Structure 1
Amino acid sequence: MELTRRNLGKLAVVTGATAAAGTAAGYAVSRPADAAATWKTTGTAVPALASFDNQMKAFMQARGVTGGQLAVTYKGRLVLARGYSTSTALAVQPTSLFRIASLSKSFTAAAIVKLVQDGKLDLATPVANILDITPASGLTRDPRWSKITLWKVLQHLGGWDRDVSGDPNWKDATISRTLGVPMELRSADVIKYVAGQKLDFDPGTKYAYSNFGYTLAGRVIEKVSGLSYEDYIQQKLLTPLKIKRMSQGWSIAKHTGETSYDSQYSGPTVLDMSGKTVPAAYGSFSMRIQDANGGWIASAPDLVRWAKMFDAPSSVLNSTSLSRFWSKPSTGVNSGGSYYGLGWHVRPVTTGGTGRNTWHTGSMPGTFTILVRTYNGMSWAALFNRRDDASGKSYGDIDAALWTAAGAVKSWPTNDLFPQYFS
């Protein structure tokens, strides 16, 4: 659930991931005409950072996006938190909640690393040694499952390639028919279905972005911790950071403070067996089975608060644990040096400084998100209530736009908004 290309530090990086699922044949496109925007902007304006406001507004207006949100940090301080809306039905606040899609993966990876830190897991353990990977009656499990370790799952080396066999987290109807179970599916149904399918490649020999791998990781967290996936993340990771707004999202209902999503598509519901046509953002996919790979809702300040945790050891994750996130995989390193670590894309920086840029994007019907950490002490999160697959305008452009905004800052302010939003 993310895009294929993004510019980090004005350098295009191919990650190997394909465009998000949810745009397959069967969705009917319904796009409102773009119009001149009448802006409602919330949060404190910071004149020195006006370039970020300008880039967000230009990006949203060009694509007809009605709701967006941005948070920016500099040297560990939250210097900007803004909400943007053009619809009379929306008033996006800096604390409004958005589905963050695949940005959820960094939380899942961190939970696994935390369990390793606490001596409850080993990343070299095969997943099938922890979970019951039993296929449906009459089907046989691929023997190569014994090679699928937690390292391989988190680095997308597990053996599943959605370009070859499809993304099982978006194959609800197929799984329902194959297993003879009703929709809405549960994660256990998805695992049982995949357990009976042949792997697409030998584990560890190829990088192929896999939502399903993170579904497995979520179940490992539950099995080892004895808590639900959501409870473990909130208790062990979010609460120590004073992040209180985040939650698992719902397929139709909204949490208090959650934004509305702009569906350009319609498709058949996967929440029951009725086959009725629904707006794509509300029922054409199940948030329940997206939980560990793309199910969280958050605000942009929450996400940059989370990103700050990776800057230095803390009571949550020690230095050994932090180093694991940037571990280079056995394969899948791109020509520019970028690769997928644990829940983050990574690009080492060797010109203009040293260190690394790390990032992730998220994308599903009604949502596009991006979170970036830079080698030189900046981070930003931008969230949108619309994914515009039909216009031909690349959502990857927001990454370049925000780097441009950062480059236009003449003097970074000394303010810190973190105490305002986290207490």
Structure 2
Amino acid sequence: MFRILLALILCAGPILGQAGITASAAQTTQAVHIEVNGEQQSWKNAPLIIKGSTFVPLRDVVTSVKGTLKWDNRTKTATITVGRDKLTHQAGSNSIRVNQVDLDTGVNSRTVNGTLMVPVRAMANAIKADIKVQRTATGQMSVNMVTDQVSLLKSEFASVDTYLREINYPGMALIARDGEVLLKQGYGLADEQTLNRPDQKTRIASLSKSFTAASILSLAEEGKIDVQDPISKYISGIPKGDQITLHMLLSQTSGLPSAFGRGEGTSMEETVEEIRHKTLKFEPGSAYLYSNSGYVLLAYVVEQVSGMSYADYVQQTILKPLGMKNSGEASRKVHTISGFVQQNNTWVTAPYYVSQSGSGTIYSTLDDMLKWDRALYTDQILSQDTIEQMYEPYSDKNYGYAWILKENGTNRTVFHNGSGGGFATAFSRNLSDDITIILLGNHAGMDMTSLLDEVEAKTAKALQLQ
């Protein structure tokens, strides 16, 4: 979420009501203190408040962030370049086009005595800046702008960034080597009025499963469970529960079907009861079948054995020790970016993403997921011997415990992807070269496996590993 603080005292600043729009927009800026990244600036025009909305002069803002602006007088359109972003805005409209997406500004821009004034919230969002407009103790108006301090792009990874822009990838992306971030960017919309920025919280869908698997293995390291235990030891009534082991649930070889009801407010116990009435697709342990239901049962085992809710166990055992302060189990109380689904050839906000603990309920950020990546190279949460169990392929699909193994000669990469509720995600960890790729997308239906392959190849080329 972009950050703007407005503390304007409406009766004390340049204010224009409906009848006052013909008044001078270019009111004196001598009484306005303007800073950009801590450096004092001089604007030709002061901010205005028009019918309760705060407006700033477009050209002055663009100049302050070292952007360029070209004006087409025939169409009354400004074309702006800030960094690698291209913005277009037509005077009097209520949208700003940023690269390939249209940002709803909420209110129309205004031309006042030849000065194009744009709503401050939308403008800050469009240029990925934080703008604070307020009054000082002496009554002076103060404008403080901080340009994007979150995004990062090393020059050698410009080609990867260009690729993600060209395919209109929506979401957030991070690439790191040896833990050093080389690319961290946001693309597309977080909601209809906000751009994706790479520090935002988002649903990670089935990437959640690695936290479920790690929770089970943590309990196993404590001697409280054994992955070869039958599920019947912890949950009664599961079909062939005396034959289905925790290992089979972890490795997607239990035979349980994937789907379960996703009604909002459905308790874990109600979902487990539904799973009790499922019909197995094959004999336990004889084949592979991806099963969300299996990971729900694993989360229920975590609760039964630990005496804590799944959310609390993951928080206390993994997230808190790793300093993953922007991660947890999702609820409507936690603000994340929106997922989008396609409807009549238009992308619209998806309904709230309902899942069940264990399978896809975690929210996180790029930075927090990188912390998880780094922890898996240490013994902080699990021993390396235990972590290796997660990477071991247990079927012809190369699925381990919430990780899928890809081998190319001696090069080992583990990955997982996820989807649901308008989100599509992927997480790749090249264990041989210590390359991390995190893609947290927010459009439904993306082929994340193919996208991940492309980004992996372009990353290898950028690092001259090919």
TM-score, scaled to structure 1: 0.69
Aligned equivalents of 1:280, 1:155: Cα separation in 2: 33
Matches within 5 A, 1:17-56: 36-37=100-101, 43-56=151-164
Deviations 1:167-201 (A, max 9, x none): 1245x5xxxxxxxxxx6422211211221333221
**1:407 CA displacement:** 2.8
Residue 360 of structure 1 is matched in structure 2 by 416
**Does residue 333 of the first structure (1) align with residue 396 of the second (2)?**
yes
Deviations 1:203-248 (A, max 9, x none): 0001000000000000111111111111111111112211110021
The one of 225, 233, 255 aligned to 1:129: 233
On the 8 A contact 2:205/2:361 being kept in 1, the answer is: yes
Matches within 5 A, 1:108-147: 108-131=212-235, 133-134=236-237, 142=239, 144-147=240-243
The one of 375, 389, 394 aligned to 1:309: 375
Matches within 5 A, 1:117-266: 117-131=221-235, 133-134=236-237, 142=239, 144-162=240-258, 167-170=259-262, 184-250=265-331, 253=332, 255-256=334-335, 258-264=336-342
**1:408 CA displacement:** 3.3
Aligned equivalents of 1:53, 1:196: Cα separation in 2: 47
The 3-state SS of whatever aligns with 2:214 is: helix
Aligned equivalents of 2:294, 2:192: Cα separation in 1: 40
Q: CA RMSD in A?
A: 2.6
Q: What letter matches 1:60 in structure 2?
A: N
Residue 181 of structure 2 is matched in structure 1 by 78
Residue 343 of structure 1 is matched in structure 2 by 402
Q: State the identity %.
A: 25
On the 8 A contact 2:426/2:448 being kept in 1, the answer is: no
Aligned equivalents of 1:396, 1:301: Cα separation in 2: 22
Aligned equivalents of 2:384, 2:454: Cα separation in 1: 32
**1:310 CA displacement:** 2.0
Matches within 5 A, 1:382-393: 382-388=439-445
On the 8 A contact 2:153/2:182 being kept in 1, the answer is: no
Q: What letter matches 1:261 in structure 2?
A: G
**1:396 CA displacement:** 3.3
**Does residue 319 of the first structure (1) align with residue 397 of the second (2)?**
no
**1:52 CA displacement:** 2.5
Deviations 1:330-373 (A, max 9, x none): xx214xxxx110111112331xxx24110000101310010000
Residue 33 of structure 2 is matched in structure 1 by none
The 3-state SS of whatever aligns with 1:293 is: coil
Residue 299 of structure 1 is matched in structure 2 by 365
Could you say if the C-alpha distance between residues 36 and 327 of structure 1 is closer, same or farther in structure 2, counting changes exceeding 3 Å? closer
Q: What letter matches 2:445 in structure 1?
A: D
Aligned equivalents of 1:83, 1:301: Cα separation in 2: 13
The one of 436, 442, 445 aligned to 1:379: 436
Aligned equivalents of 1:48, 1:260: Cα separation in 2: 31
Kindly name which structure, 1 or 2, has the bigger radius of gyration based on alpha carbons. Answer: 2
On the 8 A contact 2:172/2:366 being kept in 1, the answer is: yes
The one of 418, 421, 425 aligned to 1:369: 425
The 3-state SS of whatever aligns with 1:125 is: coil
Residue 201 of structure 2 is matched in structure 1 by 97
On the 8 A contact 1:48/1:411 being kept in 2, the answer is: no
Unaligned runs of 5+ in 2: 1-98, 103-125, 129-147
Q: What letter matches 2:422 in structure 1?
A: G
**1:53 CA displacement:** 1.4
Q: What letter matches 1:382 in structure 2?
A: L
On the 8 A contact 1:74/1:377 being kept in 2, the answer is: yes
On the 8 A contact 2:327/2:363 being kept in 1, the answer is: yes
Matches within 5 A, 1:260-275: 260-264=338-342
TM-score, scaled to structure 2: 0.63
Could you say if the C-alpha distance between residues 73 and 193 of structure 1 is closer, same or farther in structure 2, counting changes exceeding 3 Å? same
Aligned equivalents of 1:57, 1:116: Cα separation in 2: 44
The 3-state SS of whatever aligns with 2:320 is: helix
Aligned equivalents of 2:261, 2:415: Cα separation in 1: 23
**1:265 CA displacement:** 5.0
Residue 138 of structure 1 is matched in structure 2 by none
Q: What letter matches 1:286 in structure 2?
A: V
Aligned equivalents of 1:92, 1:116: Cα separation in 2: 39
Deviations 1:118-142 (A, max 9, x none): 11111010111012x24xxxxxx63
Q: What letter matches 2:217 in structure 1?
A: V
Residue 31 of structure 1 is matched in structure 2 by none
Could you say if the C-alpha distance between residues 382 and 320 of structure 1 is closer, same or farther in structure 2, counting changes exceeding 3 Å? same
On the 8 A contact 1:40/1:84 being kept in 2, the answer is: no
**1:116 CA displacement:** 0.8
Q: What letter matches 2:245 in structure 1?
A: T
| Corresponding residue pairs, total | 319
Residue 351 of structure 2 is matched in structure 1 by 282
Could you say if the C-alpha distance between residues 98 and 150 of structure 1 is closer, same or farther in structure 2, counting changes exceeding 3 Å? same
Could you say if the C-alpha distance between residues 40 and 406 of structure 1 is closer, same or farther in structure 2, counting changes exceeding 3 Å? farther
The 3-state SS of whatever aligns with 1:359 is: strand
